[in-house]
Amino acid sequence: MNELKLFSGTANPELAIKIADKLGIELGDLTIRRFSDGEVHAKANQSVRGCDAFIVQSCQTPVNEHLMELLVIVDSFRRASVRRVTVVMPYFCYSRQDKKLKPREPVTAKLVANLLTTAGANRVLTMDLHAGQIMGFFDIPVDHLYSGPIIAEHIKNIIPLKNSVVVSPDVGGVVRARALAEVLGRPLAIIIKRRPEPNKAEVTELIGDVHGKTAIMFDDMIDTGGSIIGGAEALLKRGAADVYAACTHGVFSGNAVERLSASPIKKLIVTDTIPLPEGAGDTFSVVSVADLLADAVQRIHSESSISEIFDKVWKAQS
């Protein structure tokens, strides 16, 4: 009873295997199949009664397929009498639809929170939400992890920091970029842009000095790549010597990988919350969040503090 068991959906089994290895356990045996009309079926091939079940599933492309699969898995576990179901959702889908900006628009991030709760999730573990208020959309506990510390450590190893500046690609990411700048001990610059339509951005202004410096852009996610590429071009026009970029979630829709590879970005650091598409070349550098997630899973299981993870990391880097 109350045994920790870890299972994986089909979205990112490689990450789930890494987490299981860090925990020193075998990944649970779970069969997921689809009927001829596309309906999802999920079944654990071992008893989960009374266990503390963790389900790893990022919900990247195809988003709705992976989300529905996760809901079905959670429902099957709830009906199998688990003690608790924790959804480990490194990339939280629909997070950009977190508020109503125009009449008759949905707040889909809240809908996803409701779906997970109704399906039977008792807790959610996620990383770098696009907007922090999404945690308030849930009526169950949410543990929110940050990739900043591990990305900062990786940046120190591959990017010369002596004459560098951390850049927020938009006003909404200032808090995230400022935290990275403080860890690296570097100044902060901010790109001001407008979005005439979804997935399109225009740089209008730059706050801060980037002339002759190595610019490091940091964001929570990169989707089509248009915004981050436009930011890199704007930084170079304003005198930046080199441009690097980092993000937690590499969504990389459409031909984003090809566009980023051909862009002036010297190196793009991304975590493995979402699998890197095939064909990604030397421009991309992947840092794993498996250790961080495994530590959080173990702490949730043992009812220990999650915040201590970051207290320990920040002290080690200060």
| Catalytically annotated residues | 193
Residue 151 structure tokens: 């990305």
- What number of helices (H) and strands (E) belong to the chain? 9, 14
Enumerate residues 6+ apart whose C-beta is below 8 A from 250.
221, 222, 270, 271, 273, 274, 276, 284
Distance from C-alpha of 255 to C-alpha of 257, rounded to nearest angstrom: 6
Beta bridge partners of 268: 245, 284
- The CA distance from 253 to 61, in Å, is 8
Residue 114 has phi, psi (to 5 degrees) of -65, -40
Give the side-chain half-sphere CA count within 13 A for 100: 7
H or E segment and range at residue 204: strand 200-207
Contact assessment for residue 151 and residue 273, using Cβ atoms and an 8 Å cutoff: no
Place of tokens 């495994």: 294
At a CB cut-off of 8 Å and minimum separation 6, what does 228 contact? 169, 217, 219, 222, 245, 247, 260, 265
Q: What is the DSSP letter of 293?
A: H
